[in-house]
Every structure is written in C-alpha cells, then in structure tokens.
Amino acid sequence: MRLDRAELRVVSLPLLQPFRTSFGVVGEKTFLLLRLFGEGLEGAAEGVMDARPQYREETLSGALALLRETVLPEVLGRDWVNPEELTRHLSFLRGNRMALATAEMAFWDLHARSLGRPLSALLGGVRDAVPVGVSLGIQPSVQATVETARAHAERGYRRIKLKIEPGWDVEVVRAVKAALPDMPVTVDANAVYTPAHLNTLLELDGLGLDYIEQPLAWNDLRDHAKLQALMRTPLCLDECITTAQDARKALETGACRLVNIKVGRVGGYLEARRVHDVAASFGAPVCCGGMLESGVGRAHNIHLATLENFTKPGDTSSSSRYWARDISCEALETESGLMPVPPGPGTGVTLDLPFLDSVTRMKETVTLASPQVTAWGAG
C-alpha cells in the first residue's frame, strides 16, 4: 500500500449540551482529523489531543506540527506492507503518542479497506456489538443527575459513569445509587483528588461503586497503589497508562485492578492490544474510554472494544447524545445497551464531506512537496 498524500483538518463540532468535568466545560469539540490516501482509497482517524495540555501533555497545535513536519514526510511516497511495518518505522520518535496514534489509526483504516475487511477482524475482535455505558458530565443539581441517569438506564445503557470533583461526589453518588440500585455505577475524577481527600475517597469506597476511575494524579502510580490497598472498590487507571509497560507496572504494584484503554492515548492499535493482553494476563478487565469523539473516532473505538477482554461497558454511547449532526454519514446508535460494529470495510464509516467542510476551521494537503494550506476558517 503506497501512501500518496494526506489531508489535515481542524474541525469544530458544537455539542448538543455543554459537557462539564473537573477540567471545565466543553461546549464545542475542536479536534484534528487526518485522512490518508493511497491507491484510490482513503483512511481516516481523529486526534484526541486537546487544544490545551489538561488531560495529557500533548496539544492540538503540537500534534499538527509533528504530523506535518515529521510523521507524514516519513510515511508518504513509500510502500507499506501493513500497519506493523509503518509503526516500526516511526518507533524512533519518542512520546507524542496521540499524534502517532492518529497516523497509525488512519493507516489501519486504509489497510483494512484495501483488504475489504472490517477493522475489528484484523484486530482480532470476537463480537459484532459491544456493551455500552454512558458518561454523565457534572450536572446543575443532584436531582438533575438522578433524572438524567434514570433516563439513560431506561434507554438500556449498561453502566452509569458520573464525573466527579471535590464537593461533587458522595452526595450525588448516594442519590444515583438509591435511584438505580441494580445499575452498575462508576465515577471518574480525571485526576483531580489528592491524598488529602482520603476521607472522601473512603466514603466513596463504601457506596458500592463498580470502580473508581483515575482519582489521583495523572502521572502517579505510587499513590494509587497506596490508595488501592485501603479500598475494596477497584481503581481504574486512565491518564496514567500510555504503554503496556505502564499497565504492567500498575497491575504488578496494585495501583489498579482494571484499565481504561483509549487507543489514541496509548499510541495506536498495536499498543492498545498489548495493554489489553497485559491486563488479561493479570486477570484484570479493560474498558474502552472516550474523548467526545465524532463518528470517526467513535467508530475506531467500537472496533477496538470488540477484543475479548473488553468486558466492562465502554464509553461508545450513541452519537446523537452529543451531536445534532455528525461528520460521518452512518448513524452510530446503541440498541438495548449494545453498540453494533459498523458494517463494511475499515471502520465502516464514511465522511459527510459537505457538512465536514462547513465545520472545518483549517484544512491543508500534505504531499512529498511542502504542505499546502487549502482552506482557512471554512464555514
């Protein structure tokens, strides 16, 4: 498969409702979209880095520069047997896992399309639909949270995840658990708590949660290990895990009992599979996290979640929860708590190009010659 050219876009897609976490409030999702072209086909992937380094250290502007100036010149104009070969070629680059994942995932999509096979089949997936939970941002009130959680439970979602922060934690969890006693409920702190919040975390431990996700610092396994030793509730690590080696160290030291895998965070599908396999070797389940992706990124996540050890419901809920209109032509909607794998080769989704153009803020074509900016501020 010879890669002829690439297209980089910055896309801004308005959310139906603001999504609030401990990081702040998001009303519009701005993301990087990469399209790779070769032999009359194309593959696409979505970058999960934010404009500011709040979730992890990578940024949208930094990823654009790295892809434009380093990654794409290394891969364009060459023949690649498979994604493994392309990934090995880029292994001299350190860090920047989200940027590298964007290129690797786009090539996986293109490679699968060239073979006429769904991406999940190439990854080793074992199911044609994946169990889905819902992630609820911080709501205006406890009652609003209960009502929103109940509404999603009635739609068949199989897990409720509540975003929490100090001062918005124990009371809201108690209320949701009382309203939905049989529903698995989890919380996600996005690394905002510290050991000084131990009493609150121990209160949460007594509320029957399925797990507590990333309560402490984004880069601290030691304090998570100390906390897990004090708690019955499993800890799930997200921001801390960027490689299979991180997963091994976390599980060996008891810093967690399950892992949230985001293919963009760990550098692509090859490393995501390694994290998946490491967790399985420890008997630890994994779940598929989300980053408010459009249909492109959501489809990639769905295919990943078909792997065997994804036994916890993931964050691949219906696109219609987030967008009035998505950039993919295909509707990605749950059915009775299951998200069907999009049929067809590759990710199974195609771009709604007229709408995509209307929400594109910047577009440039990259070839073996210098990149050409072809549109700014479209829409």
Number of residues that this document lists for the chain: 379
Residues 6 or more apart whose Cβ sits within 8 Å of residue 59: 49, 50, 51, 52, 53
- Distance between CA 242 and CA 262 in Å, rounded? 9
Distances (CA, A) of 9 to 47, 221, 357, 362: 10, 35, 9, 5
Contact 292, 43 (CB under 8 A): no
* DSSP characters over 28-76: EEEEEEEEEEETTEEEEEEE--BSSTTSSS-BHHHHHHHIIIIIHHHHT
Which pLDDT score is estimated for 336?
92
Task: Quick: pLDDT tens for 49-76.
Answer: 999 999 999 999 999 999 999 999 999 9
- Distance between CA 290 and CA 194 in Å, rounded? 24
CATH of 121-340, one of 3.20.20.120, 3.20.20.140, 3.40.50.1370, 1.20.120.10: 3.20.20.120
- Of 29, 161, 163, 312, the catalytic one is 163
Residue 47 corresponds to which tokens in the numbers above?
A: 């970058």
Which pLDDT score is estimated for 379?
40
CATH of 5-116+350-376, one of 3.20.19.10, 1.20.272.10, 3.40.50.1820, 3.30.390.10: 3.30.390.10
Burial of 161-195, coded b for 16+ CB within 10 Å and e otherwise, reads bbbbeeebbbebbbbbbebbeebbbbbbbbbbbee
Contact 227, 200 (CB under 8 A): no
Which pLDDT score is estimated for 370?
56
How many Cα atoms within 13 Å fall on the side-chain side of residue 368? 7
Kindly state the DSSP code that residue 343 receives in the 8-state scheme: P
- Distance between CA 45 and CA 107 in Å, rounded? 8
Which pLDDT score is estimated for 97?
97
- Distance between CA 277 and CA 7 in Å, rounded? 33
Burial of 68 (0-12, 13-18, 19+ CB in 10 A): middle
Q: What is the number of other CB atoms lying within 10 angstroms of the CB of residue 150?
A: 15
262 is catalytic: yes
Residue with structure tokens 């009652």? 143
Residue with structure tokens 């380093």? 70
Where does residue 116 fall: left (phi above 0), alpha (psi -120 to 50 degrees), or beta otherwise? left
Burial of 293-331, coded b for 16+ CB within 10 Å and e otherwise, reads bbbbbbbbbbbbbbbebbebbbbbbbbebbbeebbbebe
Residues 6 or more apart whose Cβ sits within 8 Å of residue 55: 23, 190, 218, 239, 291
Instruction: Report domain extents, the chain.
Output: 5-116+350-376, 121-340
Q: What is the pLDDT along the chain (379 residues), one digit of tens a residue?
A: 999 999 999 999 999 988 888 788 888 999 999 999 999 999 999 999 999 999 999 999 999 999 999 999 999 999 999 999 999 999 999 999 999 999 999 999 999 999 999 999 999 999 999 999 999 999 999 999 999 999 999 999 999 999 999 999 999 999 999 999 999 999 999 999 999 999 999 999 999 999 999 999 999 999 999 999 999 999 999 999 999 999 999 999 999 999 999 999 999 999 999 999 999 999 999 999 999 999 999 999 999 999 999 999 999 999 999 999 999 999 999 999 999 999 999 999 999 999 999 999 999 999 986 555 444 444 4
Amino acid at 12: S
* pTM of the predicted model over 0.75: yes
Residues 6 or more apart whose Cβ sits within 8 Å of residue 6: 34, 35, 36, 37, 67, 72, 76, 365, 366, 367
- Of 29, 161, 177, 262, the catalytic one is 262
Q: What is the CA radius of gyration of the chain?
A: 20
Which pLDDT score is estimated for 375?
47
